[in-house]
């Protein structure tokens, strides 16, 4: 138990063993791939050739090749259905050319999409899925350049990595030949085929391309207008110019991620395409200070990978944070450059909260761990969001100049190589001139995070400040943390004291006068969770502090208090000039949920001009679960001039408050057009909250094939709200076997809310057989939770009901107190 922080909690199942990168007894100097794609039939036929060199005598060339028909090979070979082993007669140092001719109908890795406006084919190699459509050494620790020739029917266009060197006319077909001269890991090989309109522009010496399906009009420009600025900023900040000649962003239908950073050829979901009203509902375009929906985070994240992930690649999935933590963090750096420091800090703060959600509800693990079974498992909130906050902490401790120099050294030293976290540490230590093993051990190699329980009192001219490290056994036992403490005195003086925290508990006595309030880590430099034991009046005063993070600390204290005094202070904060603070205050009022809190929220909505604040206000009104909010929410839902996303929140909220006319109102909202059908999806979720028989019929109808995928997904996820009815269970069983990945994932995650034993067999089937590693992982987790829930049985359900009753009584009590105070 004492070393639990080295493995974490609930992540690794008992049978898991450490995984290590495969060892290859050959080097590849070049790959040549010639394939013909049957766009409508879903078949691929091709020949792949490798120029290789032996690392030892009689070394076998082992290629991953899942579920293929091997037609021919250059040498004696053995194929077992997942790997083809080729056996040249060669000695160490000998060069050889090998080839494999094959045919396959891939279940993963390459996807064949039929839309109402034509066929599209695209690939997704990460983590280990390219092996389903081409024989290759499918591991990130091997790198080589490649040339790809893709033959498709006219008039389809076939794009890939690198530069286009030739288009061959073959009558009814044509072959596109692409050459990538830079050595890359095999999972970054990508192809996209479709009826694209290609737009080009220059960004310095780099050619920018935008592959846009012809069913998309000029709206694509709202997604990509900042591409060149982002590229220029990253090049300048990292000190390494964009490393390639070309950068294409390829929009495709039904993509299973937001985007994928294939070198020079990023593939993106068409869900990112949006209109001006989605981007700037209340102002002209662009509107960086009041954006509602933006593609910038996606564009920035995938482009950041061109350096971290592509130019320098994690040598195996245990070190995936070199790719994903950095891309998430560098994405936030663009926010800082484009929108300012407060926006950046708030993004880092929300990243931390996102990670905390996974930590509290699912599991904890070290960011860097080789204890996993499926590579997809480590692509989680620990690798992305937590890692970004750890990098922010490292930047804060070392200073921006040292941090940037270390990144430049790391990128230049390991250009086109596969690396691990020790390579990263050495670059930072060399640049900073100091040992950083303590930092790596605490934050990269251990599970959890610091939890600081902070309290203070004032007596006889001195402040008594107590800081206790209160993290559990699944976190590092005692963190070493450089911490800043801001003290604001009653007479208006302000000072910041530095505390080097390296003990479980510390008590400081500070003389200087009576404090008005005390704020821990005012500039939010360090990763940590706070448990604040502050007096109410100090929190009321701190809500007016200059630092955003101090205001957020005050909001957390006021939310726990819930008194009319706290409600008034939070209502004031909803008017804060920075939208992030305003949104946090609105969310807090929704959690308090009193009649007075609801009144403050409706008043604040009328004054707020930021769509994201208005979203949270509406969401918070739903969380109050007060029917009195119904009419107000109804007006928002049916206001065509309002933000799509605010209206979608209003639809959900109407269902939560159980307004008497909600069903009629939500049925009407099903017909409203919006970006990604968010209003329709919000209406379906609102209907699910109502839980009526008619609502269930509507939701089931919208889950059926023929509806847009985002709508189907929302419908399936909403089914759990109706409880374990036979119709719900039958639908979830059916959609767990849907051809669409997003539908299977939605059905599996809906089962998490139900924890229904009747779904156990179906979930076990997904955990063992699903082609997608993410679904296998989540299904396995839910199976374990259902088994534990069955053990707890009726007592657990009774406890949940008692807790909900207590919450409702607490809301009523706060209402009575508020009325008495008035």
Which pLDDT value is given to residue 792?
78
The span from the CA of 657 to the CA of 626, in Å, is 5
Residues 382-430 pLDDT 10s: 999 999 999 999 999 999 999 999 999 999 999 999 999 999 999 999 9
Which residue among 396, 429, 444 closes a domain? 444
Query: What's the CA gap between 531 and 664, in Å, rounded?
Result: 44
Q: Give the pLDDT score at 1.
A: 45
Q: CB within 8 A of 177, min separation 6: which ones?
A: 147, 148, 149, 150, 164, 165, 166, 167, 168
What's the pLDDT at 797?
61
Please give the pLDDT value at position 822: 46
Q: Is there a domain that residue 515 lies in?
A: yes
Q: For residue 136, tell me if it sits in a domain.
A: yes
Report the interhelical angle of 644-657 vs 662-669 (nearest 10°): 150
| pLDDT tens profile 597-643 | 999 999 999 999 999 999 999 999 999 999 999 999 999 999 999 99
Same domain, 119 and 263: no
Cβ–Cβ < 8 Å for 252, 122: yes
The answer to whether residues 215 and 302 belong to one domain is: yes
Count Cβ atoms below 10 Å from residue 665 Cβ, excluding itself: 22
Strand order through the sheet with 61-64: 61-64, 83-86, 77-79
Residue 2 has pLDDT above 60, yes or no: no
Q: Are the beta carbons of 572 and 587 closer than 8 angstroms?
A: no
CATH of the domain at 113: 2.60.40.1730
Q: What share of the chain is helix, strand, coil (3-state, %, to 5)?
A: 45, 25, 30
Mean pLDDT along residues 122-137 = 98
Mean pLDDT of the chain: 95
Please, which pLDDT band fits residue 265 given cuts at 50, 70 and 90? Answer: very high
**Residue spans of beta strands (DSSP E) within 94-171:** 95-104, 110-115, 118-123, 144-153, 157-160, 163-170
Which residue, among 369, 300, 309, has the nearest Cα to 185 in the 3D structure? 309
Query: Does any domain span residue 350?
Result: yes
Q: Which two tokens stand for residue 523?
A: 């500039």
Taking only the tens place, the pLDDT of each residue in 326-376 is 999 999 999 999 999 999 999 999 999 999 999 999 999 999 999 999 999
The burial of 269, by beta-carbon neighbours within 10 Å (0-12 exposed, 13-18 middle, 19 or more buried), is given as middle
Residue 151 CB coordination number (10 Å): 18
CA–CA distance from 100 to each of 131, 135, 547 (Å)? 13, 8, 62
Say how far apart CA 569 and CA 427 lie, in whole Å.
47
Helix axes 773-821, 760-769, angle to 10 degrees: 130
pLDDT value of position 460: 86
617 located within any domain: no
The total domain count for the chain is: 4
**Of 313, 332, 350, which residue constitutes the final position of a domain?**
313
Which pLDDT does position 117 carry in this prediction? 85
Last residue of a domain, one of 313, 344, 361: 313
pLDDT exceeds cutoff 80 at 814: no
Structural tokens at position 508? 């400081």
Residue range 552-578: average pLDDT? 97
Instruction: Supply the DSSP string of 534-589, one letter for each residue.
Output: --HHHHHHHTT-SSHHHHHHHHHHHHHH-SHHHHHHHHHHTT-SSHHHHHHHHHHH
Q: Do 178 and 153 belong together in one domain?
A: yes
276's CB contacts (< 8 A; 6+ apart) are 222, 285
Is residue 421 domain-shared with residue 276, that is, in the same domain? no
Structure token pair of residue 582: 């305003």
183: in domain: yes
Using the CB atoms, write b or e for 475-502: b if 16+ within 10 Å.
bbeebebebbbbbbeeeeeeeeeebebe
Q: Over range 554-576, report the average pLDDT.
A: 97
What is the model's pLDDT at position 818?
A: 54
Q: Is residue 435 part of a domain?
A: yes
pLDDT tens digits, 53-69: 999 999 999 999 999 99
Asked whether residue 305 falls in the same domain as residue 361, the answer is no
Check whether residue 177 and residue 44 sit in a common domain.
Answer: yes
Q: Tell whether the model's pLDDT for residue 151 goes beyond 80.
A: yes
Identify the helix (H) or strand (E) that includes residue 456.
strand 451-459
Residue 821 reports pLDDT greater than 80: no
Per-residue pLDDT, 806: 55
* Element (DSSP H or E) covering residue 617: helix 611-623
CATH number of 411's domain: 1.10.390.10
The pLDDT assigned to 800 comes to: 60
Same domain? For 172 and 203 the reply is: no
Whether 179 has a pLDDT exceeding 60, the answer reads: yes
Cα–Cα distance between 42 and 113 in angstroms, integer? 9
Write down the pLDDT at residue 817.
52
Torsion angle of alpha carbons 216, 218, 224, 228, nearest 10°?
130
The answer on 289 and 220 residing in a single domain is yes
The verdict on 353 and 415 lying in the same domain is yes
Mean pLDDT of 488-501: 95
Does 725 have pLDDT greater than 90?
Answer: yes
Same domain, 439 and 462: no
| DSSP one-letter string for 689-726 | HH--HHHHHHHHHHTSBTB-HHHHHHHHHHGGGG-S-H
Does any domain span residue 144? yes
d(CA 670, CA 665): 9
Whether residue 386 sits in one domain with residue 366: yes
Which tens digits make up the pLDDT trace of 695-709?
Answer: 999 999 999 999 999
pLDDT of residue 3: 78
According to DSSP, the residues that pair with 520 across neighbouring strands are: 485
The predicted-structure confidence for 296-340, as pLDDT tens digits, reads as follows 999 999 999 999 999 999 999 999 999 999 999 999 999 999 999
Supply the pLDDT for residue 496: 96
pLDDT for residue 145: 98
For residue 474 the two structure tokens come to 């699944």
Query: Containing domain of residue 434, as a range?
Result: 315-444
Please, where are the H alpha helices in 318-417?
321-339, 341-361, 387-398, 400-413
Please indicate, yes or no, if residue 772 is contained in any of the structural domains: no
Q: Are residues 206 and 264 in the same domain?
A: yes
Question: What are the tens digits of pLDDT across the range 75-117?
Answer: 999 999 999 999 999 999 999 999 999 999 999 999 999 998 8
| Residues near 111 by beta carbon (within 8 Å), at least 6 away in sequence | 121, 122, 123, 124, 254, 256
Segment 577-603 shows an average pLDDT of 97
């Amino acid at each position: 138990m004492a070393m639990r922080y080295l493995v974490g909690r609930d992540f690794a199942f008992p049978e898991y063993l450490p995984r290590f990168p495969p060892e290859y007894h050959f080097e590849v100097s070049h790959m040549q791939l010639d394939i013909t794609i049957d766009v409508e039939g879903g078949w691929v036929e091709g020949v792949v050739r490798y120029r290789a060199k032996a690392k030892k005598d009689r070394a076998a060339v082992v290629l991953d090749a899942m579920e293929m028909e091997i037609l021919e090979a250059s040498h004696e070979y053995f194929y077992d259905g997942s790997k083809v082993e080729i056996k040249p007669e060669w000695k160490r140092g000998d060069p050889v050319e090998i080839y494999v001719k094959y045919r396959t109908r891939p279940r993963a890795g390459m996807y064949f999409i039929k839309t109402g406006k034509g066929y599209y084919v695209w690939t997704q190699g990460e983590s280990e899925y390219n092996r389903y459509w081409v024989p290759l050494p499918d591991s990130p620790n091997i790198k080589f350049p490649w040339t790809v020739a893709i033959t498709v029917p006219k008039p389809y266009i076939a794009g890939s990595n690198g530069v286009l060197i030739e288009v061959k006319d073959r009558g009814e077909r044509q072959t596109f030949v692409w050459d990538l001269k830079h050595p890359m890991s095999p999972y970054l090989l990508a192809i996209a085929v479709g009826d694209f309109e290609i737009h080009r522009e220059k960004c310095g010496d780099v050619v920018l391309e935008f592959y846009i399906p012809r069913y998309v009009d000029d709206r694509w420009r709202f997604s990509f207008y900042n591409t060149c600025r982002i590229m220029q900023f990253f090049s300048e900040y990292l000190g390494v110019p964009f490393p390639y000649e070309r950068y294409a962003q390829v929009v495709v239908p039904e993509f299973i991620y937001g985007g994928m950073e294939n070198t020079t050829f990023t593939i993106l979901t068409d869900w990112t395409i949006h209109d001006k009203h989605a981007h700037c509902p209340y102002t002209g375009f662009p509107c960086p200070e009041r954006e509602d929906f933006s593609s910038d985070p996606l564009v920035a994240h995938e482009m950041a990978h061109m350096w971290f992930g592509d130019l320098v690649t994690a040598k195996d999935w245990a070190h995936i944070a070199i790719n994903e933590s950095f891309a998430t963090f560098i994405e936030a750096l663009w926010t800082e450059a484009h929108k300012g420091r407060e926006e950046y800090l708030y993004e880092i703060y929300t990243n931390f909260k996102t990670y905390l959600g996974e930590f509290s509800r699912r599991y904890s693990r070290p960011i860097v761990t080789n204890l996993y079974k499926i590579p997809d498992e480590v692509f989680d909130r620990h690798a992305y969001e937590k890692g970004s906050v750890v990098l922010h902490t490292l930047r804060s401790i070392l200073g921006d100049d040292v941090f940037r120099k270390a990144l430049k050294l790391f990128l230049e030293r390991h250009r086109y190589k596969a690396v691990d976290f020790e390579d990263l540490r050495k670059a930072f230590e060399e640049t900073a001139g100091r040992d950083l093993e303590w930092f790596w051990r605490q934050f990269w190699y251990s599970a959890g995070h610091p939890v600081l329980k902070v309290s203070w009192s004032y007596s006889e001219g001195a402040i008594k400040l107590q800081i206790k490290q209160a993290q559990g056994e699944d976190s590092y036992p005692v963190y070493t943390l450089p911490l800043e403490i801001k003290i604001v005195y009653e007479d208006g003086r302000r000072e910041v004291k530095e505390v080097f925290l390296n003990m479980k508990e510390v008590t400081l006595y500070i003389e200087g006068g009576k404090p008005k309030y005390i704020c821990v880590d005012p500039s939010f430099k360090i990763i940590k969770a706070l448990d604040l034991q502050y007096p109410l009046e100090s929190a009321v005063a701190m809500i007016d502090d200059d630092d955003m993070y101090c205001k957020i600390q005050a909001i957390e204290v006021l939310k726990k208090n819930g008194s009319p005094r706290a409600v008034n202070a939070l209502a004031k904060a909803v008017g804060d000039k920075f939208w992030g603070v305003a949104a946090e205050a609105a969310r807090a009022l929704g959690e308090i949920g009193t009649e007075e809190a609801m009144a403050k929220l409706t008043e604040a909505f009328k004054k707020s001009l930021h769509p994201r604040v208005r979203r949270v206000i509406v969401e918070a009104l739903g969380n109050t679960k007060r029917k009195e909010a119904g009419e107000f929410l109804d007006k928002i839902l049916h206001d065509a001039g309002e933000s799509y996303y605010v209206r979608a929140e209003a639809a959900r909220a109407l269902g939560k408050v159980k307004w008497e006319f909600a069903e009629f109102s939500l049925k009407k909202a099903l017909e409203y057009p919006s970006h990604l059908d968010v209003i329709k999806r919000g209406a379906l979720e609102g209907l699910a909250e109502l839980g009526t028989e008619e609502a269930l019929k509507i939701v089931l109808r919208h889950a059926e094939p023929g509806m847009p995928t985002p709508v189907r997904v929302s419908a399936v996820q909403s089914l759990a709200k109706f409880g374990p009815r036979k119709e719900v269970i039958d639908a979830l069983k059916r959609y767990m076997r849907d051809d669409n990945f997003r539908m299977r994932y939605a059905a599996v995650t809906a089962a998490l809310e139900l924890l229904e034993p009747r779904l156990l067999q179906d979930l076990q089937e997904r955990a063992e057989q699903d082609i997608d590693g993410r679904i296998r992982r989540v299904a396995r987790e839910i199976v374990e939770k259902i088994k534990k829930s069955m053990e707890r049985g009726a007592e657990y359900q009774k406890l949940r009901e008692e807790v909900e009753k207590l919450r409702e009584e607490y809301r009523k009590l706060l209402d009575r107190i508020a009325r008495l105070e008035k």
